[in-house]
Amino acid sequence: MAAPTLLLLALLLPVGAWPGLPRRPCVHCCRPAWPPGPYAWVSDGDPWRRLPRVRPTIDIEILKGEKGEAGVRGRAGRSGKEGPPGARGLQGRKGQKGQVGPPGAPCQRAYAAFSVGRREGLHSSDDFQAVPFDTELVNLDGAFDLAAGRFLCTVPGVYFLSLNVHTWNYKETYLHIMLNRRPAAVLYAQPSERSVMQAQSLMLLLAAGDAVWVRMFQRDQDNAIYGEHGDLYITFSGHLVKPAAEL
């Protein structure tokens, strides 16, 4: 009988009524376990209110393991789209001098020149008369016709021309250096008791096919130039200074 009686008393009496046992606060079944959480309501007189709240922390470094070995390198990805061109870089250093190249083709320089003379004197017989020449000094490629007294231009360019004559005593000397049918320059000497050397020179731009020659011009006086078979007093010369291709 004693054992069933004691079991019945343990169920009916509260825990605090048992002699020798410490008293615990009354905890409703709907409240969380002690100690109360941060959102639990605690009265000012509750002994748990005066206790410090301890929040557990975990050191991640303790849980972190050692660094593992590098894995196998993966496959290369696809090439991306071409980006816009970047800014121009700085100029690089001057490179080394290269090797000497092979010799080039020889330069083909154009030449043209003539120099002719007349040993026999000449008197004008007409208003306009071409002066023929009888002595050839230089005549490249045969461009000067002695009988006609004309130089025919085959290499266009700038030419230097000069005419030298000896006047005749008491006679007028009146000559033209002609370019085709146009007088380009005059050589003139008045009648005098003394004969003298007269000269004229000029530069002309000649085209292919142009003709240069000397013309006597007779006015109201006798026009003449002096000459001797032994000496050369009358000369007409010209040469190419610069071809038209280089102008």
Per-residue pLDDT tens for 160-211?
999 999 999 999 999 999 999 999 999 999 999 999 999 999 999 999 999 9
Long-range contacts of 99-104 (CB under 8 A, 24+ apart): none
Task: Kindly state the tokens that stand for 104.
Answer: 């080039």
Name the β-bridge partners of 225. 122, 167
Distance from the first to the final alpha carbon of the chain: 149
Q: Which tops the pLDDT comparison, 187 or 100? A: 187
For residue 229, give both structure tokens: 């078979």
Q: Which two tokens stand for residue 146?
A: 């002695």
* Cβ-proximal residues to 16 (8 Å cutoff; 6+ apart), any chain: 23, 24
pLDDT band per the 50, 70, 90 thresholds, residue 54: low
Weakest mean pLDDT among 21-35, 83-97, 124-138, 151-165: 21-35
Residue 112's pLDDT band, with cuts at 50, 70 and 90, is: very high
Q: Which two tokens stand for residue 227?
A: 């000459």
Give the confidence band of 94 by pLDDT, cuts at 50, 70, 90.
Answer: confident
Q: Tokens at residue 183, please?
A: 């007088």
Average pLDDT over residues 148-166: 97
Q: Is residue 111 predicted with pLDDT exceeding 60?
A: yes
Residue 113 has pLDDT above 80, yes or no: yes
Question: pLDDT confidence of 53, banded at 50, 70, 90?
Answer: low
What pLDDT, on the 0 to 100 scale, is given for residue 146? 95
Report the distance separating Cα 210 and Cα 135, nearest Å. 22
Which range has highest mean pLDDT (63-72, 100-109, 194-203, 214-223)? 194-203
Top-confidence residue, 28 or 123: 123
Which of 19-23, 47-51, 163-167 has maximum average pLDDT?
Answer: 163-167
**Helix/strand/coil percentages in the chain, nearest 5:** 10, 30, 55
Q: Residue 141 above 70 pLDDT?
A: yes
